[in-house]
């Protein structure tokens, strides 16, 4: 009878009977910053409320797939290498969706335990789903680790779940029955009290063991302390940890976030000496990590797990727990809010109301095989920043551009060498861009996960203004060398060995993976408007080689090409309406060309890059110097001849193994291989 009455009412008011379904169907939208506060935040307009809005934006998209407490956080698979490739991985896929969306929900539930999305009480949903992880009759059941079982993705997700339980036990843990708590403890500890991967994964065990110790369960404290010690041994100074073997965003944001969150919510009470060590390491990042972001608060696309995007800025709000007067909190919030804007307001960020795997939209070269569609919610860790109180200086300080206002001057370049980690951070005030050079030494034949040997790591440098482009089969290359190998295929350099950073010059040696006879000494010299490369080819075999500048995506119009001649040097300039890139071969090169590509760039389907090429023939007792200017400007700005031909003279001394560079502005540098 009630159903009949409802149907009559719908017909009377002219409403279609599928109206309820249509409301619940996920629709894509772009995040909008409503009522921006440009008094407190003159750069982004974003306040703590806008961060909450951003969290709701993510969570509402996810809950568009939830119509009952039993519905899993399972999302449309993105075409490509991401998992699941078969049904056996679906339970883990669901676990990822559950535990990672909870990063977004847990801080919101802390403030509003009665939160409702899509007619679902959010707290009820997560409590129900968490208890189903131990129910053998549930489709969400996770089998406990076997006695001899190794580390797995389940460990990662249970570690993630433990973080959310640790910060919001009042909503997520306390209401559970004792039987439910005991079942969760047994299952989660089977993973936490076990083997791990020698990387940031150690923290997943640490969080599981810590949470259950905090709630009165007997845990393996010896193992907990062992993993704490080993995590601290990964520290390399200046805020950087080593992620065995890589350096990337995880080396900063994951380790530092885990250490700070663990200390704040557990360590200070139970292991104060360890908490003090993690906090000391955390303090070191203030003078380094902010410089890795652009003037506009944009992050560089670099390293694995780029799909987690905004997660990289969680250390900045966590600085609020320190209440350190020496920290420029207005700059820290400006960077963090800027990165949120960078991605959340991009029209390609969402598909199916879920963030894509990629950079902005889907970008298969940046995707790893360990990711599923729900993996993207690892970015939700940024919203642990909402746990920082409203009156904290992170939220109350006026936004500013920090070093870009107070330290940097136009027509200068600024390098920050990171010491033991061998990372170089460079800032370019003329275009407001940041750049990084870092570790890469992984062979394709040993890289079973297929990411540490790829363009995610093997570029000569990574820049916030010029996102990395994937290599093409026909030798299209951006910001790297490619060599025609013995198999007649273009092979990129990836086996780099850092040598030194001296007098503003970053030195590396590199050898081709498939042929040790192909070897170079590399020297990068950052300039105010770009980079001077002075590379020495020590190869003992003939080879065809190419070198690429950064690439430009095709935006609103065609990419324009200009050729200029300056003192017998050919200058090639490309302009996409936002930036210009210029490439000037000074020594060693035969040919310059603009190469167009499709499907290789994360910002647009079409792109262009300037490539230089040479057919190298080794000469007895003589090495060949390849000197190249790789310059840039914003579109619309004019180039002077002096800017384009920034180098006046280059002299190579084979006896001293040095190159003396005389610049047009009167400066000199000596490259010492």
DSSP symbols for 454-498: STTT-SS-EESSS---PPPTTS--SSSEEEE-TTS-EEE--EEEE
Q: Which helix (H) or strand (E) holds 182?
A: helix 178-192
Q: How far is CA 531 from CA 232, 479, 594, 644, 655, in A?
A: 36, 11, 19, 12, 26
pLDDT of residue 10: 33
- The answer to whether the Cα torsion of 396, 400, 403, 407 is positive or negative is negative
Alpha-carbon span 532 to 555, nearest angstrom: 27
For residues 661 and 652, the answer to whether their CB atoms sit within 8 Å is: no
pLDDT of residue 622: 63
Q: How far is CA 664 from CA 309, 648, 668, in A?
A: 40, 5, 9
- Say which DSSP state 77 is in: P
pLDDT tens across 372-413, in order? Answer: 999 999 999 999 999 999 999 999 999 999 999 999 999 999
pLDDT of residue 449: 85
For the chain, domains (ranges, CATH) are: 48-406 (1.50.10), 408-672 (2.70.98.70)
For residues 371 and 80, the answer to whether their CB atoms sit within 8 Å is: no
pLDDT of residue 191: 98
3-class SS of residue 366: helix
Structure-block tokens of residue 223: 């193992």
pLDDT tens across 65-83, in order? Answer: 999 999 999 999 999 999 9
For residues 459 and 480, the answer to whether their CB atoms sit within 8 Å is: yes
Q: DSSP for 523-582?
A: EEEEETTEEEEEEEE--SS-EEEEEEEEEEE--SSPPEEEEEEETTEEEEEEE-SSEEEE
pTM above 0.85, yes or no: yes
- Say which DSSP state 438 is in: -
Alpha-carbon span 318 to 261, nearest angstrom: 8
Alpha-carbon span 160 to 157, nearest angstrom: 5
Q: How many DSSP H helices and E strands does the chain contain?
A: 18, 24
A 10 A CB-CB count for 63 gives: 24
Structure-block tokens of residue 217: 């369960």
Burial of 121 (0-12, 13-18, 19+ CB in 10 A): middle
Burial of 235 (0-12, 13-18, 19+ CB in 10 A): buried
Alpha-carbon span 163 to 100, nearest angstrom: 10
A 10 A CB-CB count for 5 gives: 9
Alpha-carbon span 537 to 625, nearest angstrom: 6
Alpha-carbon span 519 to 263, nearest angstrom: 46
Alpha-carbon span 309 to 314, nearest angstrom: 11
3-class SS of residue 86: coil
The closest alpha carbon to 659, from 519, 535, 547, belongs to 535
pLDDT of residue 450: 87
Length of the chain: 673
For residues 502 and 671, the answer to whether their CB atoms sit within 8 Å is: no
Alpha-carbon span 433 to 292, nearest angstrom: 9
For residues 169 and 206, the answer to whether their CB atoms sit within 8 Å is: no
For residues 239 and 253, the answer to whether their CB atoms sit within 8 Å is: no
For residues 307 and 371, the answer to whether their CB atoms sit within 8 Å is: yes
Alpha-carbon span 413 to 21, nearest angstrom: 56
3-class SS of residue 60: helix
Alpha-carbon span 459 to 512, nearest angstrom: 14
Task: State the number of CA atoms in the 13 A half-sphere of 460 facing the CB.
Answer: 29
- Phi/psi for 76 (5° steps) reads -55, 130
Helix 221-233 × helix 202-214 angle, to 10° = 140
The closest alpha carbon to 328, from 394, 386, 392, belongs to 394
Alpha-carbon span 254 to 270, nearest angstrom: 22
In this structure, the dihedral spanned by the alpha carbons of residues 64, 69, 73 and 75, taken in order and rounded to 10 degrees, is -50
For residues 462 and 456, the answer to whether their CB atoms sit within 8 Å is: no
- The answer to whether the Cα torsion of 446, 452, 455, 459 is positive or negative is negative
For residues 165 and 211, the answer to whether their CB atoms sit within 8 Å is: yes
pLDDT of residue 27: 56
Q: Which helix (H) or strand (E) holds 502?
A: strand 495-502
pLDDT of residue 448: 85
Alpha-carbon span 115 to 121, nearest angstrom: 6
For residues 560 and 575, the answer to whether their CB atoms sit within 8 Å is: yes
pLDDT of residue 462: 98
Alpha-carbon span 443 to 453, nearest angstrom: 6
Q: DSSP for 229-243?
A: HHHHHTB-STT-B-B
Q: Which helix (H) or strand (E) holds 121?
A: strand 120-121
Q: Which helix (H) or strand (E) holds 669?
A: strand 668-672
Q: Which residues of the chain have pLDDT under 70?
A: 1-28, 620-622
* Alpha helices in 112-146, H assignment, sequence order: 122-132
Task: State the number of CA atoms in the 13 A half-sphere of 378 facing the CB.
Answer: 23
Alpha-carbon span 359 to 379, nearest angstrom: 12
Alpha-carbon span 366 to 305, nearest angstrom: 8
pLDDT of residue 481: 98
Alpha-carbon span 408 to 427, nearest angstrom: 8
The closest alpha carbon to 163, from 257, 253, 56, belongs to 257
Alpha-carbon span 150 to 77, nearest angstrom: 27
pLDDT tens across 314-335, in order? Answer: 999 999 999 899 999 999 999 9
């Amino acid at each position: 009878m009630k159903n009949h009455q409802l149907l009559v009412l719908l017909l009377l008011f002219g409403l279609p009977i599928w109206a309820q379904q249509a409301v619940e169907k996920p629709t894509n939208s772009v995040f909008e910053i409503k009522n921006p506060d440009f008094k407190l935040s003159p750069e982004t307009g974003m306040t703590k409320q806008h961060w909450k809005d951003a969290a709701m934006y993510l969570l509402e998209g996810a809950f568009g797939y939830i119509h009952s407490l039993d519905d899993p956080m399972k999302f449309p698979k993105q075409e490509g290498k991401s998992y699941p490739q078969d049904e056996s991985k679906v339970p883990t896929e669901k676990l990822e969706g559950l535990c990672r969306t909870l990063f977004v929900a847990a801080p919101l539930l802390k403030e509003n335990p009665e939160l409702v999305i899509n007619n679902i009480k959010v707290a009820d949903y997560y409590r129900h789903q968490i208890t189903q992880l131990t129910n053998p009759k549930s489709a969400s059941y996770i089998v406990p680790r076997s006695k001899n079982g190794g580390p797995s993705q389940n460990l990662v997700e249970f570690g993630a779940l433990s973080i959310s339980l640790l910060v919001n036990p009042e909503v997520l843990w306390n209401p559970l029955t004792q039987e439910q708590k005991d079942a969760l403890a047994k299952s989660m500890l089977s993973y936490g009290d076990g083997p791990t991967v020698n990387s940031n994964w150690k923290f997943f065990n640490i969080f599981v063991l810590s949470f259950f110790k905090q709630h009165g369960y007997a845990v393996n404290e010896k193992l907990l302390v062992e993993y704490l010690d080993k995590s601290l041994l990964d520290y390399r100074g200046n805020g950087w940890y080593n992620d065995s073997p890589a350096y990337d965003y995880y080396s900063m944001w994951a380790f530092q976030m885990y250490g700070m969150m663990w200390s704040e919510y557990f360590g200070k009470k139970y292991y104060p000496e360890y908490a003090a060590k993690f906090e000391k390491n955390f303090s070191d990042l203030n003078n380094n990590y902010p410089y890795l972001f652009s003037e506009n608060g944009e992050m560089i696309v670099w390293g694995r797990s780029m799909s987690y995007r905004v997660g990289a800025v969680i250390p900045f709000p966590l600085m609020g727990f320190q209440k350190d007067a020496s920290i420029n909190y207005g700059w820290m919030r400006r960077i963090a809010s800027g990165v949120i804007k960078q991605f959340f307001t991009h029209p390609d960020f969402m598909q199916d109301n879920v963030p894509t795997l990629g950079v902005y939209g889907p970008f298969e070269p940046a995707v790893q095989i360990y990711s599923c569609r729900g993996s993207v919610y690892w970015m939700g860790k940024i919203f642990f920043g909402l746990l920082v109180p409203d009156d904290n200086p992170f939220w109350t300080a006026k936004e500013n551009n920090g070093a870009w206002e107070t330290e940097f001057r136009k027509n200068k370049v600024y390098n920050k060498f990171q010491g033991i980690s061998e990372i170089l951070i460079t800032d370019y005030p003329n275009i407001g861009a940041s750049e990084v050079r870092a570790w890469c030494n992984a062979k394709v034949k040993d890289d079973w996960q297929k990411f540490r040997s790829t363009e995610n790591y093997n570029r000569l440098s990574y820049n916030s203004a010029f996102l990395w482009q994937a290599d093409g089969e026909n030798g299209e290359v951006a910001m790297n060398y490619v060599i025609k190998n013995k198999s007649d295929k273009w092979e990129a350099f990836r086996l780099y060995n850092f040598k030194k950073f001296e007098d503003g010059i970053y030195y590396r040696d590199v050898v081709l993976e498939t042929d040790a006879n192909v070897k170079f000494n590399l020297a990068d010299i950052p300039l105010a408007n770009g980079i001077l490369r002075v590379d020495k080819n020590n190869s003992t075999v003939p080879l065809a080689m190419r070198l690429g500048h950064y690439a430009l995506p095709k935006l609103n119009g065609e990419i324009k090409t200009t050729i200029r001649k300056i003192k017998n040097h050919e200058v090639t300039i490309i302009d996409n309406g936002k930036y210009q890139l210029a490439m000037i071969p000074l020594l060693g090169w035969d040919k310059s060309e603009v190469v167009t590509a499709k499907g290789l760039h994360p910002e647009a389907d079409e792109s262009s890059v300037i490539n230089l090429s040479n057919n190298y023939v080794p000469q007895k007792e003589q090495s060949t110097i390849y000197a190249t200017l790789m310059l840039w400007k914003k579109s619309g700005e004019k180039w002077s001849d002096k800017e384009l031909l920034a180098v006046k003279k280059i002299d190579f001394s084979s006896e001293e193994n040095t190159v003396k560079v005389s610049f047009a502005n009167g400066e000199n540098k000596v490259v010492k291989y």
